[in-house]
Structure 1
Amino acid sequence: MESEQRKQAVALIQQALPSLEWTLQSAKVKRLSRDFHWFSPVLKRQLEDKQADAVVKPLNQEQLRQLVAACVEHKLPLILRGGATGNYGQLVPLEGGILVDMTGFNQVCELGDGTVRAQAGIRLADIEAQTRPSGWELRCMPSTYRLASLGGLYGGGFGGIGSINYGPLGAPGNVLGIKVMTMEAEPRVLTVPAPQALLLHHAYGSNGIVLEVELALAPAHRWIERLDVFDNFIDALDYANALARSPGLVKRQIALFAAPIPSYFSHLNGNYRASQHAVISVVAQESEGLGDGILATFNGEAAIRQTAEDAREANASLMEYCWNHTTLHALKIDNTLTYLQTAFDYSKYREQIISMAEYFGDEVISHIEFLRDNDGNITASGLQLVRYSSDDRLNEIMEIFRKNEVKINNPHVFQIEDGKQGVVRTEVVSVKNALDPNGLLNPGKLRGWEIRDQLEIDNDPLLLTER
């Protein structure tokens, strides 16, 4: 649909639904059509001129249903927006249309014994604020948990803090089910249990409108946040690895930062030397003594220690220096940097980390996160900082990692299959065909939709006719 046709369609929908909260000013619409894709110089160029035609903030399911039906009637694209903390242009409209601000859907629907069901637009920190008094916390969450929404984590996130125990969000048992609205002339609301619900996970909101997510929770602990420093990179790596592989040590987060990354943490400077490597850990109070012994074994020294209460009082959690928050802190100091996303082999990640660090030197700087994979193996993923010189060199670097058997989840592409998923998944396309038959949800992001005629589409991918 051409731009003028889209504008006419938006005008007609606004006239039909005047009670909705509309944003039409082009400058504000463009700002709201952005996430943190600018971490990638490639995506920054490719997505610079892309934006929605309007932004709408529905406040309840009925308003959303009316908007969806109107978009289908006018064949207008619809894109979902949560906290806008993603890094891959998930919410950036490629073909215009209406951007739906989901943050009005911000309620905890049900809090059970070890479970929570909440609306997609709620911030993750707000979920924990309600679960902690009853002794429960989120199993995993991104470093952007203060701003990130539950639906955004589900639609485009991975895992993050807590993944050292429970793996990524998509690991079996973490997600229990979802409620989803279809993109049809007469929208339906469906309840989809796991594991079928995971067919909408990390699909950028391209194959269904997630309204609610039900999660399993973890027992809450009193956490101690630490930043420990080392003069030798191998010592820092082995300390982090020892924490990760100590089954009796209760932890929530372990991250390794090669120098000069700690020097980019400007708010923390003065606690250590710029030349030192660092490990950030979040360890339960009852386990901290064991961690002290491990620290001494690997020639480390304590630089920062704070309780979770200290962090809240200072409004400065060390967790917000981990995962892709690290990249943000670094870019504030040096905007020529970019980053990678790598997944090491669980059986030899230590050797791979050392080998790649030695090979690239200062061109690719190690930032390593420790976690469990879907099968429960302790492993490591990298969010390495890269001194960007050209697209060709960036691609060469990624290819060198692949040749050394390190998987690349390419963060410099905007189509789902070219990044984390890696391949066209027929079952994911089948869900879009079932829930969004006109292909109006976030068009252009799911490459498999463009070749759906070549795939064996399942007409009942969510097994809903059997329930």
Structure 2
Amino acid sequence: YGQAMPLSGGVVLNLAEMNAVQAIAPGRVVTGPGAVLAEIDKATRAHSAQELRMSPSTYNTASIGGFVAGGSGGVGSIRWGGLRDLGNVIRLRTVTMEAEPRVMELTGEEVLKVMHAYGTNGIITEVEMPLTASYDWIDVIVGFDDFMDAAGFGNDLAIQDGILAKLITPIAAPIPYDYFKRHQKFFRREQSIVVCMIAPHAIDAFVAFVKSGKGEIVFRADQEADLKGLPPAYELTWNHTTLRAIRVDPTITYLQARYPSPDHLAHVKAMVDRFGDEVPAHLEFIRFDGAIGAAGLPLVRYTTEERLDEIIRIHEDNGCWIFNPHRYTLEEGGMKRTDDVQLAFKRETDPQGLLNPGKMIAWENPDYDYRSSKSFLFKGLQKAG
């Protein structure tokens, strides 16, 4: 997406040193925007056995301000939904880009004005997030001979009300064997997997649930004698799946998809049958408006830009939504329409258009046709160097 990549030179604000964990209370934490998610959890666990509701797979390096300004969900979304769901961000303090800057406190639905806006309409200087009970989550990987069996297991696990899971990630063969090098010894090449994080008090129920289906537990962190060198389970999932694949095969790319519920498994199967190993499947089960759904981050064995565009069109023609990570604008990487609330807020807080120029099409070209097959080209684009 290139969310923070400058398109026209200028100044890059580095807020990494604004990283203090300022206050912890039951159900909430207040931090600076530069606080790293793992460091926030370290503080809240020590203080009162609490943790953030959700985080990206870049948990150990990502800042909370960056997550709010550019993220959408992650590990924990199976219980808590998306980052933009009301209540998943409590308060944001922002500073405007005006001749006389203002400090604004946004709460309730007002936080949506700047969330996932790539910093185009305000500088986030303080974040207040909700917390939930922390657990010593157990990493478990379940193997399957067929990917759709893995997907079905993930869906069935997601609706088990009594089994507390933080992560449910089906991944098609041969991705795990070919690209998860440190875990490779646990898989067969033809084996698809489901990566899970399970609460300790739910592990026995989880094991019983696995035994009732077609899978087998191939890795369980609490029973593994030597975990040295093994990344945590979440670093096999979400965007880390693609990251690990690219490290082995730099020609790999990916897409982001959403398969409409309640028929999400049927949509997944249609795409798996259509593309096979050209687009190896990767799902993340998450909660949408109280119901279980499936997001996809399928890998793509890239050949040409034309073929990539064709793969996108086939998904969309079959009712699958694509959020295109190969576009640098909010609209093209999202729902392909103007967010009128964020646009109006930019007019108020950044009247000269100085914040992250070129990332909001609605500001640059209000008459742009989002149905165009061509990508938006920002007129102010400058080549580095």
Structure 1's consecutive aligned runs of 4 or more residues displaced over 4 angstroms after TM superposition are: 307-315
2:21 alignment partner in structure 1: 108
Corresponding residue for 1:90? 3
Mapped contact 2:182–2:230 kept (Cα < 8 A): no
Q: Name the counterpart of 1:399.
A: 313
CA distance in 2, matches of 1:310, 1:162: 27
Shift of 1:148: 0.5
Which residue of structure 2 aligns with residue 249 of structure 1? 163
| 1:367 counterpart (242, 260, 282) | 282
Per mean C-alpha deviation after superposition, the further-off stretch among 360-369 and 296-305 is: 296-305
Q: Do the aligned residues in 1 keep the contact of 2:221 with 2:227 (CA within 8 Å)? A: no
1: CA distance, partners of 2:56 / 2:201: 24
Which moved further from structure 2: 444-453 or 133-142?
444-453
The alignment's TM-score, normalised by the length of structure 2, stands at 0.92
Q: Which residue of 2 aligns with 1:334?
A: 249
RMSD: 1.8
User: 2:181 is matched with which residue?
Assistant: 266
SS at match of 1:326: helix
- Name the residue aligned to 1:302: 217
**Alpha-carbon distance in structure 2 between the residues aligned to 1:142 and 1:214:** 17
Name the aligned partner's letter for residue 129 of structure 2: L
* Equivalent residues in 2 for 1:168-187, closer than 5 Å: 168-187=82-101
State the alpha-carbon separation in 1 of the partners of residues 94 and 162 from structure 2.
39
Question: Are the aligned partners of 2:155 and 2:292 in contact in 1 as well (CA < 8 Å)?
Answer: no
- Residue 328 of structure 1 and its aligned partner are, at CA, apart by 0.4
> Residue 126 of structure 1 corresponds to which residue in structure 2?
39
Deviations 1:335-377 (A, max 9, x none): 111101001112101111111101111111100000001x111
* Local SS of the residue matching 2:121: coil
Contact 1:208 1:435 in 2 (8 A): yes
Deviations 1:426-447 (A, max 9, x none): 2111111111111100000011
Q: Aligned partners of 1:417 and 1:144: how far apart in 2? A: 24
What residue is the counterpart of 1:426 in the other structure? Answer: 340
CA 1:441–1:255 in 2, change beyond 3 Å: closer, same or farther? same
Give CA-to-partner distance per residue, 1:375-405, whole Å, 9 cap, x none.
1110000000001111111111111111111
Give the residue type in structure 1 aligned to 2:358: G
Match of 1:204 among 98, 114, 118: 118
Paired AA for residue 215 in structure 2 = G
Q: Displacement, 1:299?
A: 2.2
The match for 1:144 is 58
Matched, 1:190 2:122: no
* 1:448 and 2:362 are equivalent in the alignment: yes
Percent of matched pairs sharing the same residue: 40
My pick for the range that moved more, 308-317 or 112-121, is 308-317
Counterpart residue number, 2:375: none
- C-alpha contact 1:223 1:308 (8 A) present in aligned 2: no
- Offset of 1:222 from its aligned partner? 2.5
Contact 2:258 2:320 in 1 (8 A): yes
Q: Tell me, yes or no, if the aligned pair for 1:225 and 1:283 is still in contact at 8 Å.
A: yes
- 1:325 aligns to 2:244 (yes or no): no
Q: Is the 1:238–1:298 contact (alpha carbons within 8 Å) kept by the matching residues of 2?
A: no
Q: For each residue in 1:263-320, what CA deviation from the matched residue of structure 2 results, as whole angstroms up to 9, or x when unmatched?
A: 1101111112111111100011111112112222222222211149999975721111
The answer to whether the 8 Å contact 1:225/1:281 transfers is yes
Contact 2:329 2:360 in 1 (8 A): yes
CA radius of gyration, larger in: 1
The CA deviation at 1:235 is 2.0
State the AA in 2 paired with 1:329.
Answer: R
Secondary structure of the residue aligned to 1:433 is helix
Going from structure 1 to structure 2, the CA distance change for 1:147 and 1:312 (only over 3 Å counts) comes to farther
**Contact between 1:311 and 1:317, CA under 8 Å: does it hold in 2?**
no
1:412 lines up with 2:321 in the alignment: no
1:188 CA drift (Å): 1.6
Cα 1:311–1:257 change in 2 (3 A) is farther
For 2:75, the equivalent position in structure 1 comes to: 161
Distance 2:51 2:213 in 1: 31
Q: Which moved more, 1:360-369 or 1:414-423?
A: 414-423
| Residues 236, 298 of structure 1: 8 Å contact kept | no
Extract unaligned runs of 5+ from structure 1.
1-87, 455-467
* Greater CA drift, 142-151 or 178-187: 178-187
For 2:227 and 2:106, locate their aligned partners in 1 and report how far apart those are by CA, in whole Å.
Answer: 36
Q: Which residue of 2 aligns with 1:289?
A: 204
Deviation of residue 258 (structure 1)? 0.4
Mapped to 1, the partners of 2:278 and 2:31 lie a distance apart of: 43
- SS where residue 137 of structure 1 aligns? strand
8 Å contact kept, 2:176–2:192? yes
1:224 aligned onto 2:138 = yes
Q: Give the Cα separation in 1 of the matches to 2:367 and 2:264.
A: 40
Question: Which deviates the most, 181-190 or 385-394?
Answer: 181-190
In 2 relative to 1, CA 145–362 (structure 1 residues): closer, same or farther, beyond 3 Å? same
CA distance in 2, matches of 1:347, 1:234: 16
SS at match of 2:13: strand
CA deviation after TM superposition for structure 1 residue 186, in Å: 2.3
Work out which of the residue numbers 232, 257, 263 in structure 2 matches 1:348.
263
Cα distance change on mapping 1:310 and 1:321 into 2, 3 Å:
farther
Count of paired positions: 366
